[in-house]
Chains A and B, each alone.
Chain A
């Protein structure tokens, strides 16, 4: 069996047998506190600056009821049709367009989703897959609009891991940390947006303390 072969080769090289149970348990209990990037900026400001530095865009929205108007403004700005894949937790709003909860097919131009958190450290959003958030909404449409309540912005990756662990099912099938639109530098290192994923990622930053995703 390759499994036993590989493990025994490793143990031979390390000059020991399999770890005794106490040692193994100690390793499993290890929860290191590594150096974090220290910064004192306001979380929301930091998130916006860092996210925009990689061609992400952000619009502030006062409350949940204002989301349809904010999306309409964005659609008008980019000439987008009145059709979208909108994640289920946001489906109750009067969007004024034809929409479905996904998954997103090849014809989809606009995907609208919530997210579990924003991570201010480098300016990223973190989404979790599930019935309320098909992963294709993040990657297939040309435009991805993400609703992020300002209160859900955390400081460091470690804070986001804590949120993931606290979920009832633990980690979802797919956790996406997204820090801007898709890009490539594979032709002469010239940066080009919209390689395979969205050409643009737009965050609607909800200032009111309400949840965007159930």
Chain B
């Protein structure tokens, strides 16, 4: 997918004016946030589980080379094949190679964000393969020709009416208007695809080093039909999705669904270990895992290593006020919201993504709900710092910061300017104490009044306080 993050401001403006999106995002906000909060409150062990999950991920990252090799040999021992891909092009080449060798025609897909990251669908379609997304949300946006707008609810930006239109255009027949009828229609259409599928591609929530198992966690069962009924199963996964043992898997199963959809557990947790075995009546004849680096190893050992703990639950975007207002498409690439604002600049370069680290109010909600405690706001601040160092900040902002710094390094001047500003603003506020318009801050005062300062600065008030406050008795 071509990175369009530079258009963030335009796309955000469009999103704010889109009435369908307002309806869809409004419904999403309450649902995920409230359910997560209820479940977190109901589980006394929840905070401890988050600490342990963070520690396991850190342990994996410190020993990532070892666990990757162990995983690879365990997959091979189970009769599967592991492919290593340094970047998106290598990953696409591996998958295209497999599809060509097995003379595939129809390819079904379970949800995989890595496949979005490596632009897999376009590459497959360009070679003439029929590619069918089977996750209902992914299927909807495939029909709409759009990228996902959320990492676990890819069509969260679509209203039911829009889905009705898309389905009628694609399937013909009468226009279905209830959720039940829409789901049934998709079920019937996709059934046929599963049974005709040559290659089934899924993501991997966890790769278990101990057993060479790849795990998907889903609600619909589409990933299971995809991988069970295809002749060949290909797993695409980032190299950081390794966990050492099944014991570690239990830990993540206890926090993933609670953090993501606000469910105690998703419906299906599926552990796949190798291809069909002797005597099996079904299952794929080949099992492949494509381990995708694509910029991840560069993040190790630096200020962004913690980001590699991410388990792609979506809690950060569910709780982000900016995401909640503009939706996922405004971010312009595969991963939206706070985790996307960190990942996109790291994967795609700071230059083409300069608005993303700034599309954040540093309110900290994302960090407070992240199941593996990724310090997302600190990382966004670090990205801003790097932007400034690399001269990627707009000139006006840069000059403004320069002026502020000049004053901030000279306390006398700073305090004088502060006193002056407080008094001028008080004057501007007049009797009402509110400022209707302010030079250089038109964007802010266009929608609200600025409460005027009351005449003295904080420092003046502080110095004027009683020197020795009475001790409380």
A interface residues with partner B (beta carbon < 8 Å)? 1-3, 5-7, 9-15, 18-19, 24, 27-28, 30-38, 50, 53-54, 101-103, 105-106, 122, 124, 129-131, 134-136, 138-140, 156-158, 161, 164-165, 169-190, 192, 194-198
Contacts and interface: CB of A to CB of B under 8 A. Distances in A.
Contact of B86 (A2, A30, A54): A2
Contacts of A177: 268-271
Given A34-B250, A158-B250, A192 B179 contact: yes
B211 interface: yes
B18 interface: no
Contacts of B211: 170-171
Given A181-B267, A188-B27, A19 B63 contact: yes
A140 B24 contact: no
A195 B63 contact: no
Given A138-B224, A161-B247, A197-B221, A7 B85 contact: no
What 10 A-B pairs have minimum CB-CB distances, sorted nearest first?
A197-B221, A13-B301, A13-B300, A157-B250, A186-B137, A195-B220, A175-B271, A103-B282, A186-B136, A131-B279
A24 B85 CA distance: 24
Given A103-B282, A139-B221, A161-B250, 19 more contacts: A10-B65, A13-B300, A28-B70, A30-B244, A34-B49, A54-B265, A106-B195, A129-B282, A136-B282, A165-B246, A174-B273, A176-B270, A178-B267, A179-B266, A182-B221, A183-B267, A184-B136, A195-B221, A197-B221
B423 interface: no
A182 B193 CA distance: 18
B65 A11 contact: yes
Contacts of A5: 84, 86
B399 interface: no
A31 B154 CA distance: 36
Given A6-B291, A184-B183, A27 B67 contact: yes
Contacts of B154: 186
Contact of B52 (A28, A34, A189): A34
Given A135-B282, A182-B219, A196-B190, A187 B68 contact: no
Nearest to A103: B282
B276 A173 contact: yes
B222 interface: yes
B353 interface: no
B254 interface: yes
Contacts of A139: 221, 224-225, 228
B327 to A, nearest CB: 14
Contact of B183 (A11, A170, A194): A194
B153 interface: yes
Interface string B232-252: 000000010000111111110
29 contacts: A5-B86, A27-B67, A28-B70, A32-B56, A34-B250, A35-B251, A36-B45, A53-B264, A103-B282, A124-B265, A130-B277, A134-B280, A139-B228, A161-B246, A161-B249, A171-B78, A171-B273, A172-B273, A175-B213, A182-B219, A183-B219, A184-B136, A184-B219, A185-B153, A187-B155, A188-B159, A197-B220, A197-B222, A197-B267
A177 B250 CA distance: 12
A154 to B, nearest CB: 12
A112 to B, nearest CB: 15
**Most A-side CB within 10 Å, residue of B32, B66, B213:** B66
A42 B253 CA distance: 22
A33 B183 CA distance: 41
A102 B281 contact: yes
Nearest to A142: B187
B85 A2 contact: yes
A86 to B, nearest CB: 13
A182 B229 contact: no
Contacts of A19: 63, 65-66
Contacts of B282: 102-103, 129, 134-136
Contacts of A135: 224, 228, 282-283
B417 to A, nearest CB: 45
Contact of A197 (B195, B268, B302): B268
Contacts of B163: 187
Interface string B149-181: 000011110111001000000000000000110
A3 B153 contact: no
A122 B229 contact: no
A158 B45 CA distance: 16
B161 to A, nearest CB: 10
Contacts of A172: 273, 277
